[in-house]
Amino acid sequence: MPLPLIAAIVAVASAALILAYLRRSRGGEATPPGETGDGPWPQLPNGAEKAEPDAVERSKQAIHGILRDISAHIRSLAGENVMYGASLDKHKASLKETARIESLQELGQALAAELESMQRSNTEYRQRLAEANEVVVRQQDDLDKLQSTLGTDFLTDVPNRRSFDEQLAGAIELAKRHGDPVSLLVIDIDHFKSVNDMHGHAAGDRVLKAVAKILNDTRRASDFLARYGGEEFVMILPQTSADQALAVADRLREKVASTRLRLENTGLNVTVSMGAGEVFPESDTKESLFARVDGALYRAKHEGRNCVRLAEVSTGQ
């Protein structure tokens, strides 16, 4: 199957997930991420509220428009594929006819003309595929931008990086204002590339959704979980010191490790590595805090995985 067609199908699947999510949000069939208790994260910030009917309707209309465009290009790609197949059949018939020519000079001229025609057909087909692929990639970017605007990761159904950045900035500001402890966890699925390589990307997506659900179900009501990107998640822990964050992280880690994930034809156990760190209100920005905790995650990955490491003390302390 041509790569542009595969990309288009992936884009359609992504859009279908978005539509399913929007239906749940509008119909109240699922609790929005970050609202599983009476903690300090009652809704997504700055226009990312999912329950706004007008915003949901606009998002649905935007997605339907993108879907229509993608469908049109899939039909175009399929049509080009059929036309190219017919063109090859015509060339094969021409070559068979050429084989009957007795004069070597005429035979050479006929073969050269046929090969030139085949090359021209192939070039045109590849150009059309490239143009269609550019459109599909652009439409996938539109879907990604829409996802970012809504503040939710549609694969795992938890808040996305945009929501996390806003929540972390607010948490650090509160820590500076009131002096309450706030900690951050950065969580990475161990050997995730191997899961994709051995079981396929569809299985990798199921693992991401399963791990997100475990983390979301196991976290405290006040904690804020988000998907940072790829196989990495983040969690903000209000009213939590570094030592307490270690205990919370270890409980989450053990829960993931002890859960058998079911794939289509087999079961799978995965583990996570984590970095943990507390905000230093006098010196930390969201960038410096994340860098420290991400450094602790890096140590955990290189010291055996399936473990938690505490971030180094801020240089400003």
Among this protein's residues, is 303 annotated catalytic?
A: no
Angle between helices 161-178 and 286-302 (to 10 degrees): 110
Provide the residue type at 311 as one letter.
Answer: A
Contact 189/274 with Cβ under 8 angstroms?
no
* Torsion region of 239: left, alpha or beta (phi above 0 gives left; psi -120 to 50 gives alpha): left
Catalytic residue selected from 131, 231, 264, 282: 231
Q: List residues bridging with 268 in a β-sheet.
A: 261
Q: Over the chain, what HEC string results?
A: CCHHHHHHHHHHHHHHHHHHHHHHHHHCCCCCCCCCCCCCCCCCCCCCCCCCHHHHHHHHHHHHHHHHHHHHHHHHHHHHHHHHHHHHHHHHHHHHHHCCCCCHHHHHHHHHHHHHHHHHHHHHHHHHHHHHHHHHHHHHHHHHHHHHHHCEECCCCEECHHHHHHHHHHHHHHHHHHCCCEEEEEEEECCHHHHHHHHCHHHHHHHHHHHHHHHHHHCCCCCEEEEEECCEEEEEEECCCHHHHHHHHHHHHHHHHCCCEECCCCEECCCEEEEEEECCCCCCCHHHHHHHHHHHHHHHHHCCCCCEEECCCCCCC
**Gap between the Cα atoms of 293 and 278, Å rounded:** 9
- Give me the active site residues, please: 231
